[in-house]
Amino acid sequence: MDKPIKRIAVYTSGGDAPGMNAALRAVVRTAYYHDLHVYGVFRGYEGMIDGKLERLERRDVGNIIHRGGTILKTARSKRFRTAEGRKLAYESLLAFDIDACIAIGGNGTFMGAKLLSEEYQIPIIGIPGTIDNDLYGTDYTIGFDTAINTAVEAVDRIRDTADSHNRLFFVEVMGRHSGFIALNTGIGSGAGSVMVPEVDTSIDQLVEKLKKGYKRKKLFSVVIVAEGNKHGGATEIAQQVKEKFDFYDTKVTIIGHLQRGGAPSCFDRVLASRLGFAAVEGLLKGERNVMTGIQNNEISYTPLSDAITKEKNLQEDLVRMAEILAM
Ligand code: F6P
């Protein structure tokens, strides 16, 4: 029989995402509603190893729902990948008499959480916080909506100058090995083409599309490139295209970490609040070593092992629609 849960440690880990603070706020407020104590771990697994835990009160999460980033800070931890590092981390949790953890992060965060829970039998619940939206078990990850709105706003600005100069722009977006940001930015910005890791579009095929547009008097064009594309990033793809088709004056813009910052959208604040609330109530209902998620607008709990290992596929119907609407 599990020990009753009275003290929860919560941490943010991996790449930060707009909405992480909203999730943290929901965790703390829901925990206090159920008379639980919450400890914030600073700088993710690095801070856990170093014992950087501090009690969080309700007021500590006031006035943060609208702030990007994470007040707990985050880090990528090489030490935590070692058994010795995880042992030190667990000893920190013991020192604060922690009964369970809530991990807010992405794939790497949950891989660490799964190891910690297996090696030390500590209950953990994951909250999907990454702009990449690449986690199986949830339709949306916290930060994704804000990131695509940032990217679409940037591409709207690029379109203005591309139109003024009759230029071809290659715009690179984040997403690590996935194309969710690129595909949704491409559709939302009305881009001419989208290059994503999940769809095997050759450079020749891209050149053919650009040539057809040029023949149809398309005086400028914007191509959205997911950073994980097999042909390289925007700079590499632009170079390969220019070698075959140089009718446009070509430019490259890499949006980069702008996609990670900024005030979270309302969608992300509501999503983060729902997932943070569900994480605490799930722990109290006996959920263990699962990731909270939203599927068809319903809260779901997916085993961490599935969230980590199962592929989340890019929606094929969206890919097909994007192709057709860009013609
Ligand atoms: O996982 C989120 C993410 O923004 C990816 O899209 C990107 O490739 C990566 O983090 C960048 O990591 P860092 O901020 O450590 O350079």
Q: Is the domain of 119 the same as that of 179? A: no
Do 13 and 127 share a domain, yes or no?
A: yes
Q: How many domains does the chain have?
A: 2
Do 246 and 287 lie in a common domain? no
Residues in contact with ligand 1 by the CB-under-6-Å rule are 15, 106, 130-132, 174-176, 227, 260
Domain assignment of residue 188, yes or no:
yes
- Looking at ligand 1, which residue's alpha carbon is closest to its atom 6? 175
Same domain, 268 and 139: yes
324 located within any domain: no
Q: How far apart are CA 248 and CA 45, in angstroms?
A: 48
Task: Please indicate, yes or no, whether residues 226 and 88 belong to a single structural domain of this protein.
Answer: no
The alpha-carbon radius of gyration of the chain (Å, integer) is 22
Residue 325 lies in a domain: no
Please report, in tens digits, the pLDDT of each residue of the chain (327 residues total): 567 999 999 999 999 999 999 999 999 999 999 999 999 999 999 999 999 999 999 999 999 999 999 999 999 999 999 999 999 999 999 999 999 999 999 999 999 999 999 999 999 999 999 999 999 999 999 999 999 999 999 999 999 999 999 999 999 999 999 999 999 999 999 999 999 999 999 999 999 999 999 999 889 999 999 999 999 999 999 999 999 998 899 999 999 999 999 999 999 999 999 999 999 999 999 999 999 999 999 999 999 999 999 999 999 999 999 999 988
DSSP 3-state assignment of 57?
Answer: coil
Closest C-alpha among 73, 74, 67, 65 to residue 29: 65
- CATH number, domain of 178, equals 3.40.50.460
The residue from 219, 237, 260 where one domain ends is 260
Candidates 51, 64, 68; CA nearest to 150 is 68
* Ligand 1 atom index nearest CA of 176: 8
Establish whether 132 is a catalytic residue: yes
**Same domain (yes/no): 83, 169:** no
Residues 225, 239 within the same domain = yes
Residue 104 and residue 150 in one domain? no
CA 150–ligand 1 middle distance (angstroms): 15
For residues 182 and 227, state if they share a domain. yes
CATH of the domain at 83: 3.40.50.450
Domain range holding 220? 145-260
Ligand 1 probe mutation, 110, 174, 254, most atoms within 8 A of CB: 174
Has this prediction a pTM greater than 0.95? yes
Please name the residue ranges forming H helices in the chain. Answer: 20-33, 44-49, 83-95, 107-120, 144-165, 180-189, 203-215, 234-242, 266-284, 304-309, 316-325
Considering the domain architecture, whether residues 139 and 280 belong to the same structural domain is answered as yes
Residues 150 and 250 in one domain: yes
Residues 39 and 183 reside in one and the same domain: no
